[in-house]
Structure 1
Amino acid sequence: MLVNNNTQAMSTVQQIKRPDMDPANAAASALYSGALQAAQQSVTVPSAQKELDKASDRIDEAFAKTRVQLQTTASASDVPATGSTSGARAEFTDYMTKSPAERIRDQLLKERGLTLEELNAMPVEQQNAFAKEVSERLKQQQDQQVAAKSVNPQAQVLKETLAAI
């Protein structure tokens, strides 16, 4: 509020009318902000949510401990951790590079409990019989694949379409 000490100018006294300067608004604002703070303090996270957060923290801690234990076990063991993985990868790569006939041959050797060296040490007649059995199984396998495709070509197309999706 502007006040002029000149008595003649008393009629020109002007009061500033701003809402933020009004004492009633200031009091209401203070009450509102106080009530808002009290409401914010009284509104807390439900206890169930707090328990979930604690459980999640315990789970994270357990995983971290397990990871540390696994890392120390792997580093302390005599077998390197990557050795078994690369061995499995090499075995898989070897298997996938084999022809179907070689796969069938290996399967027959395993069924009979023989090794490739033992097969090569057999007489030629037994080796030929073994080779004939491998070729028969290979032919059976190919016939089964052809039969599966030719039995119902529409069903096969449908299967391939669904597999592509």
Structure 2
Amino acid sequence: MLVNNNTQAVSTVQQLKRPDMDPANAAASTLYSGALQAAQQSVTVPVVQKALDKANDRIDEAFAKTRVQLQASTAATPATTDVPAAGSTTSSARADFTDYMSKTPAERIREQLLKEQGLTEEQVQAMPQEKQDAIAKQVAERVKVQQEQQVAAKTAAPQAQSVKDTLAAI
């Protein structure tokens, strides 16, 4: 009977019996993980790349459409100036805005009040003086309320800022 007293040989055989150290398992797991990674990359990269390409194409298309629309609208409209042309029946948005901003707050409030009541300036001029005075009184009240709100907002703003500063310091 032969007995091998060499401990190194015995430990080498025992190490090979561990499943994680088995050369066949190690090779199989390496092949499997490599194949899995290759499969994942071959599936995800083209799909993601295709999605990115589609998104980029849509963005480019939107920019191109916008550019064409802007060029068409610029070519269709003549050069505009701040003053609308004499004899033009339609006013531009810029002229409307300029007219609105040139009005005083009282004029804006009066215009809004008349619009709410369904009246025109000509109709108000045709009214008796008492009704005209009543409308003027309503306008004055609204102007007063608006001014009080503005003052309250201005005085509340520093207090709100000090509260914010206090909370930030905490």
Query: Structure 2-normalised TM-score?
Result: 0.49
Long gaps (5+) in structure 1: 1-43, 160-165
Query: Structure 1 residue 51 and structure 2 residue 56: aligned?
Result: no
Fraction of identical pairs, as percent: 45
Distance 2:154 2:64 in 1: 52
Determine if contact 1:104/1:134 at 8 Å carries over to the other structure. Answer: yes
For residues 96 and 129 of structure 1, what CA distance do their matches in structure 2 show?
A: 26
Decide which of 94, 99, 113 is 1:89's aligned counterpart.
Answer: 94
Question: For each residue in 1:70-120, what CA deviation from the matched residue of structure 2 results, as whole angstroms up to 9, or x when unmatched?
Answer: 469869x9xx5998xx72222122111111100110110110011112112
Structure 2: where are the runs of 5+ without partners?
1-41, 81-90, 165-170
Q: Which residue of 2 aligns with 1:163?
A: none
* Displacement of 1:147: 2.5
Alignment match, 1:147: 152
Q: How does 1:37-48 map to 2 (within 5 A)?
A: 46-48=45-47
Q: Which residues of 2 match residues 1-165 of structure 1 at below 5 A? A: 46-48=45-47, 50-56=49-55, 58-60=57-59, 62-63=61-62, 66-67=65-66, 70=69, 87-151=92-156, 153-155=158-160
Aligned partners of 1:53 and 1:65: how far apart in 2? 18
Give the letter aligned to residue 58 of structure 1.
D
Q: What is the distance in 2 between the residues matched to 1:149 and 1:53?
A: 50
Q: Is the 8 A contact 1:149 1:156 kept in 2?
A: no
RMSD: 3.7
Q: Which residue does the alignment assign to 1:27?
A: none
Distance 2:52 2:155 in 1: 58
Partner AA of 2:144 in structure 1: K
CA distance in 2, matches of 1:143, 1:68: 47
1:158 and 1:81 map into 2 onto residues whose CA distance is: 53
Highest CA radius of gyration, 1 or 2?
1
Q: 2: distance between equivalents of 1:148 and 1:64?
A: 42
TM-score normalised according to structure 1 size: 0.50
